[in-house]
Amino acid sequence: MSDLLVVKDLRKVYETNDRQLELFKDLSFTMEDREFVSIIGPSGCGKSTLLRLIAGLDKPTSGSIVFQGQKVINENLGISMVFQSFGLFPWLNVIDNVAIGLEAKGMNKKDRYEIAKKYIEKVGLDGYEETYPSELSGGMKQRVGVARALAVTPTLLCMDEPFSALDALTAENLREEVLLLWEDKEFPPDSVLMVTHNVEEAVYMSTRILVLSEKPAKLIKDVKISLDRPRNKKSEEFQEYTDLIYSCLT
């Protein structure tokens, strides 16, 4: 295993009208190849901001983020993102929203549509190719967001509360789909970094869970989840892990 992502002494300060908002102070952690890491922490502690920094969509105030040996300075083709608030383009229909990241890879339209269709099917939105975001439910929008992020075959898939807007059954299906893709060594993504508020979901899916404190967020716990897959949510060991994570949060 080798370091895939190294976050070192990260600080992010937002300057608003009359005050400074310090989100993290010297936050450091690393992620290795093939890990599935979940980040849990109080609302507003900066989890979404952290993912945006890692994906190169925003800049840290100080500290560094290194992905595959290279400092992240702007958007990286190896990292894709599922946004908490979907981040769809309202003027594009479903297939164009899913295919948009493939344009940056210099692919022709026929190939882009073929790949986009495959991922639209994977997330269960067959038949909605021509539909516009305004006509979709929150859960459907999030499935479009997941399809778009997967379509670019990222090395690292970043997901910001990807399943929280979905009904229980859809969430369950999509979790399995993401796990299958992650477990399949032939296909990207090789590694996943997910923000979630759902402790059970984190224990079910992750190889490791990072628990953050209130802002300025520090890493308060780094828990390796050593459970066989598929994981049994009813097992005693599973319960022990969820209890441990809950105890860190309270």
> Does residue 45 interact with ligand ATP by CB under 6 A?
yes
How far CA 185 is from CA of 33, 81, 190, 204, 243, in Å, comes to 11, 20, 7, 19, 31
Give exposure, 131-140, as e/b (b: 16+ Cβ within 10 Å): bbbeebeebb
Q: Is 14 in the site for ligand ATP (CB under 6 A)?
A: yes
CA distances from 136 to 90, 93, 130, 145, 192 (A): 11, 10, 11, 12, 26
Tell me whether residue 84 or residue 142 sits nearer to ligand ATP (CB atom).
84
If the CB atoms of residues 45 and 95 are measured against Mg ion, the closer one turns out to be 45
**Residue 43 within binding range of ligand ATP, rule CB under 6 A:** yes
Nearer to ligand ATP by Cβ, of 58 and 129: the residue is 58
Among 5, 40, 47, 203, binds ligand ATP (CB under 6 A): 47
- Among residues 50 and 115, whose Cβ is nearest to ligand ATP? 50
Rounded to 5 degrees, what are φ and ψ at 130?
-90, 0
* Cβ proximity of 83 and 165 under 8 Å: no
Find which of ligand ATP, Mg ion, none residue 97 binds, CB within 5 to 8 Å per kind: none
DSSP β-ladder status, 208-212 and 36-40: parallel
Contact between 207 and ligand ATP by CB under 6 A: the answer reads: no
* Residue 23 within binding range of ligand ATP, rule CB under 6 A: yes
CA 15 remoteness from chain centre: 26
Do 206 and 38 form a contact (C-beta atoms < 8 A)? yes
- For ligand ATP, the binding residues in 56-95 under the rule CB under 6 A are 84
Q: Helix (H, G, I), strand (E, B), or coil: what is residue 142?
A: helix
Question: Rule CB under 6 A: is residue 164 a binding residue for ligand ATP?
Answer: no
Q: Return the C-alpha torsion angle 66, 72, 78, 84, nearest 10.
A: 100
Q: Using CB atoms, what's the residue nearest to Mg ion?
A: 48
**Which residue of 46, 78, 145, 162 would you call a contact of ligand ATP, by CB under 6 A?**
46
- Contacting residue, 2, 16, 134, 226, with ligand ATP by CB under 6 A: 16
The smaller minimum CB distance to Mg ion, of residues 96 and 160, is found at: 160
Per CB under 6 A, residues contacting ligand ATP are 14, 16, 21, 23, 43-49, 84
